[in-house]
Chains A and B, each alone.
Chain A
Amino acid sequence: MPKFEFERGKMVPVPSHSIVPERDVNSVPVLEALHLGIDFGGLKAVDDFNLTIGKTEIAGLIGPNGAGKTTVFNLLTKVYAPTRGTILLNGNDTSGKSVSQVNRMGIARTFQNIRLFNTMTVEENVKVGLHNTKAYSTLSGILRAPSYWRREAEAHEKALELLSIFDMQDLANHQAGSLPYGAQRRLEIVRALATNPSLLLLDEPAAGMNPSETAELMENIVKIRDTFNIAIMLIEHDMSLVMNICEGICVLNFGRVIAKGTAEEIQNNDAVIEAYLGKQKEE
């Protein structure tokens, strides 16, 4: 695969033992997780998870199978209530908030096992994502008040505009469940973007994609970051994608952070190599 070219920011350390791109140092970080942890019964699925993500950073979360990556996403989006720790979203504490409330605070995600609204069309799926940005009351909907027509027209325009990021506007009237796998993954990203997030979490966006599709996805992820000026964090097993586009990478093993740094630092980190490949036998 050709090396993906794009402007990667210089990473600088911040107080919470993380690094953020230099351009983001002076803005409030989009996400700050402090001593985050959750127990399932006696098992510490995630423990003492600390991470800071800059306002426009593309961050990666990697680790062997079962390391707790998706659990971290579920904690950040409040699908699971954390046992310990604090999550700050754009500087605001999210404790006690529900999944839908933290979405409205600016965090949107996709799912490892795709969760689309299968009986709806592609356009309707995106319109569901626009639920809070193109709002009108239930009563105006029933009475077809002027605000209904105005907002629905806006939602239609916006949905097509968002779909055009992935060149999917022609699929608008197809049923979401009937789309090919790759298109379903892209639609999930569009739906998440429709909620106007400041942090987008992608759970294995390249799963099931071939190398050329993955290359296109990389381009699109960078494009999304540049157009919407948001932060993106992704879980991915495709190392070429992670090493090519992630500015800061966090490595998780057995629910604990074992390394944080840039792509070069991670590739040469002994703890990471050990986690993935095992310990080399002493000669």
Chain B
Amino acid sequence: MDFKQIKANLKKDFTGLKKVKVAILADSSTQYLAQAIRGIGYEKKLDIEIWEAEYDAIDLTISDISSELYAFKPDFTFLFLSSSKLQKKFYKSGYSSDFSGDILEYYKKVTEVMSSHIKTNYLIVNFPDKLDSVFGHYAGKVNSSFSYQVKKINISLMDWAQNNAAVSIIDLCGLQAMYGNAFVTDTRLYISSDAIFSLDFTIKLAENCVQVLEAFTGGSKKCLILDLDNTLWGGIIGDDGLENIQIGDLGIGKAFTEIQLWAKALKDRGIILAVCSKNDEINAKEPFDKHPDMVLHSDDIAIFIANWSNKHDNIKYIQSVLNIGLDSMVFIDDNPFERNMVRQFLPEVLVPELPEDPADYLPYLNSLNIFETNAYTEEDKDRTQLYKAEALRNDASRSYTSEVDFLKSLDMISEVKPFDAFTIPRVAQLTQRSNQFNLRTIRYTEEDVKRIATDNNKYHTFSFTLADKYGNHGLIGVIILEKKDKEALFVDTWIMSCRVLKRTMEQFMLNEIVQYATRHKFKQIEGEYIETRKNGMVREHYKNLGFTAKDNKWILSIDNYDTKTCYITNA
């Protein structure tokens, strides 16, 4: 991407793209950044509408209740204070050792004022770091040095974000470390137009901002598919044999060890790992089980495919077992031919163009920031286990002649309860990430979910877990009912994880909400299907459950409801 392409994108037709409203509040000139964010958004199928506050007028903007900002109602607000202005403030403060605390208070005040008018997600750009220009290295021993205060601000911002769902960090400091200050800044631009970044870095920063927006709007990556020979280890296992592949201290093994460490950490964060390799399975699996220097073991891999078929067919298979979108999958392979084949047949899959030298693989992959996310829950850690259990179930289902017998044999149990403090993060995550089994695709932040959960006059909420004899799926279903009036409940949100398709879970969920409706003397339940590019699988959802169509809505009358057959017990 360069600025010319960005400009060209700005002229393109954005109709039909997902709309995201973004405000930028800054104390430096951000026109280039704004253009770049919108132009790059186009590539990611986002129509990012940007409202820029007047240059260096944050306080004025937010204190004006008739401000365009509040009429604009941004989904996201970038708060971006420049480090040069920060430094001036610091000098003005008389080198205060409380400086970082004052700055944090300032941010809190800004978000408080804004939150009293609008609901928005705050994306706070943190501060780049550098060797202290006054104290040098000695700054570490001086709490009134700028360098110390900047570091402290960055830490306080993260601490604050960890306890405030509406606040997230854009890690400019991390980007600066990755790209180097010489690339990041252009002093000439700063002096002549008060834009603090070089044009080239502005584009990198914008790419990262768009990735964060993408993660918030349901576009995060979920699965990493790895080739083996010369990708996870050096050499070819089938030819070189177990003792001679390069991993650990042998040859350029360190480069591969690092990639494995990265993959393992991703897996522990909740990214599903799969292997797709042209190999005999017995050879391919041997290092995972026997090589002492392997970081990744068989347990870490949810789906292991080693055969001689086309990789794109194998990836299609992996996709069908995991039941996730192709566009949430990433494929890493050292072989340009394989990469191109996969790109050609499965353009939705992200296939990074690896550098030639394996030593450069990881730094390059890191620079792409592929696995941006906007949530992290305890459940994420166990995801690989979930998918491995799923593979066991797949095997079991083949041994039963009828589907009903199979379902009965699973001993399925579901826990149903309103949202609570423990489930709210996961519920928010489901509303943000589920694309397929999602009837209206309304995205909610944790803050939103909290508000809904406590507004008992207007809403009743249900979270559903599912467990069976092979394992626990965790929280896999969400329903939000809006009490329209004394008679009618409207299904504001109905989401189910695709992991539990064909388990009669939908029927179970409907039985539960009908029971609730009956208990509280409601007469009917109204559903709505809002079509998106990805939720075609639930187009007939309400029809299949016995709702009747009426004025673009689906109606179920409570009085003559026949409890649906399902094989799930309420815990």
Task: Please say whether chains A and B are actual partners in one complex.
Answer: no
Interface residues in chain B, defined as those with a beta carbon under 8 Å from any beta carbon in chain A = none
Interface residues in chain A, defined as those with a beta carbon under 8 Å from any beta carbon in chain B = none
